[in-house]
Amino acid sequence: MHTEKSGVLWAIGAYTIWGFLPIYWKSLGHVTSSEILVSRIIWAFVMTLLLVLLMKNGRYLLEDLKALWSSKRDFWYLVSASFLVSGNWFLFIWSVNHDLLVQTSLGYYINPLVSVLLGVFFLKEKLSRAQQLAFLLAAVGVMVLTISYGKFPWIAFVLAITFAVYGLLKKQIKLDALRGMTIETLFITPFALGFYIWLFWNKQSAFLHVDLKTDILLIVTGIATALPLVMFAKGAQRIPLYMIGFLQYIAPTMMLFLGVIIYGETFGKIDFISFAFIWTALLVFTTSKVVEAIKAKKKVRLN
């Protein structure tokens, strides 16, 4: 019981940090989204590598790299995951700094539903009737939003799909979360360094050219990336999957609140109707998962 309680606290901490991250990206609004992204990649690699070494897991990191290289499928899955999550990070930062937090939050609300859909198609997982109803409700919500916008909410869907596919690829690779993150960022860091060199060469870099505050904020992007990931990994090891699914709505709810209340983004009646369908879908989906977990526990006890 104590382990589960600590797991819940770790997970809540991770999702709360992710929920507050838009404020951090807004503070770097004077820096281009591409430079924020490459800073995040480079410093996340540095921070995660330092953590691995401080935890005296350098040997295991080398073993992970050897194991990946011996399995070409896993190697290319992780390379693909690295580029996918980098694209997701870029769009997230760009959306926040272009006052599109409401649509960003929508993307992370529908992400778990897209993940389950990918599970159905690629992992041959089956949906209960309640989960099918959840998809129908979410589809109606997105349709309402699309009609009201006059265009498809592509930012929300690209965010949801890229992160869902990233999760699907990661699910099929057995790697420690922290070391996996180190290797992911290692794959993309050479490209990030190359882009930074190009920025410096063309005198377009904000790093070391604006002020000390900007330099510190860009360096700390590594901690902002690594810290919630480590907290999430600790939480995920201690609590059931359905509880993780329930807690993950903390972040998009906070983003929605920040967008509407703090940054004054529009959220009219049509937006509310659309989100109401999606919130109901998530409630139905999460409830069905909780019921499944309780039934599974009872079956284990009876056996």
194 lies in some domain: yes
303 lies in some domain: no
Predicted local confidence at residue 114, as pLDDT: 83
What is the residue whose two structure tokens read 């309680």? 5
218 lies in some domain: yes
- Please give the structure tokens belonging to residue 275: 């989100």
> Cα(4)–Cα(236) distance, rounded to whole angstroms?
10
45 lies in some domain: yes
Predicted local confidence at residue 142, as pLDDT: 81
Nearest to 89, CA basis, from 27, 31, 25 = 25
Predicted local confidence at residue 94, as pLDDT: 95
Q: What is the pLDDT along the chain (303 residues), one digit of tens a residue?
A: 567 778 888 888 988 999 999 999 999 999 999 999 999 999 999 999 998 999 898 999 999 999 999 988 999 999 998 999 899 999 999 999 999 998 888 888 888 778 778 877 887 777 778 878 888 888 888 888 777 767 788 999 999 899 888 888 877 888 887 888 899 899 999 999 999 999 999 989 999 998 999 999 999 999 998 888 778 777 776 776 556 766 778 888 899 889 999 999 888 888 888 889 988 988 887 788 777 777 777 777 766
Contact 179, 61 (CB under 8 A): yes
Per the structure, the count of domains in the chain is 1
Query: Dihedral, CA atoms, 18, 153, 279, 294, nearest 10 degrees?
Result: -70
Residue type, 2: H
Predicted local confidence at residue 291, as pLDDT: 79
Nearest to 210, CA basis, from 21, 23, 32 = 32
> Cα(284)–Cα(255) distance, rounded to whole angstroms?
22
187 lies in some domain: yes
54 lies in some domain: yes
Nearest to 163, CA basis, from 239, 109, 204, 216 = 109
- Please give the structure tokens belonging to residue 239: 């609590």
Residue type, 214: T
What is the residue whose two structure tokens read 């992370």? 108
**Which 3 state secondary structure label does DSSP give 125?**
coil
Predicted local confidence at residue 162, as pLDDT: 92
Residue type, 100: L
279 lies in some domain: no
294 lies in some domain: no
Phi, psi torsion values for 274, nearest 5 degrees: -60, -50
Q: What is the domain extent for residue 19?
A: 2-134+154-266
Residue type, 69: W
